[in-house]
Amino acid sequence: QQPVQSPQAVILREGEDAVINCSSSKALYSVHWYRQKHGEAPIFLMILLKGGEQKGHDKISASFNEKKQQSSLYLTASQLSYSGTYFCGTVTDSWGKLQFGAGTQVVVTP
C-alpha cells in the first residue's frame, strides 16, 4: 500500500516554512524524499534509514519516527526554487519494493 502524504498542496511566500508528512501502514526500513519540477524527472533529496538521525540538506531537513511509521520533510525559509512536487518513498521490507506517495505540490511565491 502506498504511503499517505499530507497536505496535497501548499502555497508559501518566500521565507515561510512548511512541513510535509508521510505516513505508512507498515513498519519502515527507510524513507526517501524526492522533488519533481514540472516536466522533469524526480530528483533525490535525502534518505532516512531506520535507526538513523535526522538528515538535512541546506534548509530542507527531514525526520523519521519509527514508532509512528512516519516521516516529515521540513522546508525552512522557503525559496522560489523550492517549488515543485515532493514525493516520499517508503521501503517496508528487504525484498525490493520502494513505494511512493501521491505527492505534495509546493508553490512558493515572491
Partner 1 sequence: EAQVTQNPRYLITVTGKKLTVTCSQNMNHEYMSWYRQDPGLGLRQIYYSMNVEVTDKGDVPEGYKVSRKEKRNFPLILESPSPNQTSLYFCASSLSLNSPLHFGNGTRLTVT
Q: Which residues contact partner 1 (rule: CB under 8 A)?
A: 2, 5, 29-30, 32, 34, 40-44, 47, 49, 87, 89, 91, 94-103
Considering the complex, state which of residue 94 and residue 110 has its C-beta at the smaller distance from partner 1: 94
Cβ of 4: how many Cβ atoms within 10 Å? 14
Considering the complex, state which of residue 48 and residue 108 has its C-beta at the smaller distance from partner 1: 48
Taking the complex as a whole, the smallest distance from the CB of residue 15 to partner 1 amounts, in Å, to 28
> Which regions of the chain does DSSP assign to beta strands (E)?
4-6, 9-13, 18-23, 30-36, 43-49, 55-57, 60-65, 70-75, 84-91, 99-100, 104-109
Q: β-strand 9-13 against 104-109: which pairing, if any?
A: parallel
Taking the complex as a whole, the smallest distance from the CB of residue 35 to partner 1 amounts, in Å, to 11
Considering the complex, state which of residue 2 and residue 109 has its C-beta at the smaller distance from partner 1: 2
